[in-house]
Chain A
């Protein structure tokens, strides 16, 4: 469907229903609730002096719920969202249980969660945290314009073993229906599947026509422009770690005392330093090989390459559900990120108690 294939009044009715269901699920604890929906249509027409003539029409839609709950002493917040390359059918395909009700349930659960301990822990990343790692911490460093201008920690390191064996990280703009997918970039180069880390080794970057010439490689379709008034710059698309072989339960069994981080919310990367910070909406203690009590207010800070080297288990599962708009140089681009559960040794966890 394209945006005008559903009447505006029908969209409003469905969004209102999501919001109502979220409040109803809170048993009187919801103090603030927001459900939003957007759909966008974009038509890009490109010609160049070599004979390229491409027209691309794309629809994208996103629906999200943010629920804030209170027990009279504290406030907790949780967010759920869903997005597709598509249109208003998202409002039909999404259920309240998977959106606003789920957000309310998560927020209510946080009311009884304990503050996270601070320290150095073995940590298991949920796929959403893995997504933050591969996009924020590694992906931006693999954009060849950053590499060429000396702003990336990956400069001069092609061919080096930078991550643990078994770690493969890919940016793939060709996945049908994925939020970051496209067929041609804004320079008219066909999109592609780009391997950044292959079994631990740095093997490639994301390129525009200009950076491909600088690195003497074939352009791989990563130059995207936001609007008509933006120049194409090197961007990620759908960035993920490939699944491995370790079942989640086995991963947990191998941890005496650690933390399971869930709900990757946001991250920030100091590209040149190779340092990143990310915040998890919730977490659980892991004690004696078992998932334990729930935790809240968890953030981690680490050096990207240390984290990639300290991965000692890559899960046999996979989830890519972090659709969003990635910002760079004042431009936004639709992207997605994900991967399997991964276990990482020696991660600095910020919290409130020892």
Chain B
């Protein structure tokens, strides 16, 4: 029997709130820049070979990453579960990695300060 899980529902308020909250916490922790990204993905594959449908499978994942710029060094961490707790742990790890790296790297990272955008996009359009 072929079974495909349903496409994840549109972002809940909680995911939106989590990524925003982590950015606020990163600023308070001294990051000159930070971003938080959650990605939900689902893929379905069907393979027919020599007259037989011999593979039909789905893969799904839902996780979050946090990237911080501290003392001109990047720190990055990710988790395969999206929750406030996992996001906070990612932030702590990213901050630690950036601070630890800052003591050793020779080339300091600078970024072009991006314009802020607020948008919701669906491709293809519904």
- Tell me the bound Cα distance from A269 to B10 in angstroms: 40
Chain B residues with Cβ below 8 Å from A158 are none
Report whether A54 and B4 are in contact in the complex, using a CB–CB cutoff of 8 Å: no
Binary CB contact string for chain A from 218 to 256 against chain B (1 if under 8 A, 0 otherwise): 110000010111110000000000000000000000000
- Tell me the bound Cα distance from A57 to B122 in angstroms: 5
Q: Which of chain B's residues has its CB closest to A64's CB?
A: B47
Report whether B114 and A3 are in contact in the complex, using a CB–CB cutoff of 8 Å: no
Chain B residues with Cβ below 8 Å from A38 are 43-46
Interface size classification for chain A: 35 or more
Chain A residues with Cβ below 8 Å from B56 are 8, 12
Dominant secondary structure of chain A at its interface with chain B: mixed
> Does A58 make an interface contact (CB < 8 A)?
yes
> Does A156 make an interface contact (CB < 8 A)?
no
Kindly specify which of A132-140, A195-203, A209-217 makes contact with the partner chain: A209-217
> Does B105 make an interface contact (CB < 8 A)?
no
Interface size classification for chain B: 35 or more
Report whether A49 and B16 are in contact in the complex, using a CB–CB cutoff of 8 Å: no
Kindly specify which of A39-47, A287-295, A346-354 makes contact with the partner chain: A39-47
Chain B residues with Cβ below 8 Å from A54 are 117-121
Chain A residues with Cβ below 8 Å from B47 are 15, 34-37
Chain B residues with Cβ below 8 Å from A23 are 51
Report whether B118 and A50 are in contact in the complex, using a CB–CB cutoff of 8 Å: no
Report whether A188 and B35 are in contact in the complex, using a CB–CB cutoff of 8 Å: yes
Q: Of B19, B41, B45, B50, which is within 8 A of A42 by CB?
A: B41
Chain A residues with Cβ below 8 Å from B23 are 47-49
- Can you list 23 pairs linking A and B with CB atoms under 8 Å apart? A8-B3, A9-B2, A12-B53, A15-B48, A16-B48, A33-B50, A33-B51, A35-B47, A38-B45, A40-B42, A40-B43, A45-B38, A46-B35, A47-B23, A48-B35, A48-B114, A49-B27, A50-B33, A51-B116, A52-B35, A55-B120, A183-B119, A219-B114
Instruction: Name 15 extra pairs, CB < 8 A, besides A38-B46, A227-B61.
Output: A12-B56, A34-B48, A40-B41, A43-B8, A49-B23, A51-B118, A53-B20, A54-B120, A54-B121, A56-B123, A58-B123, A183-B119, A188-B116, A190-B117, A229-B80
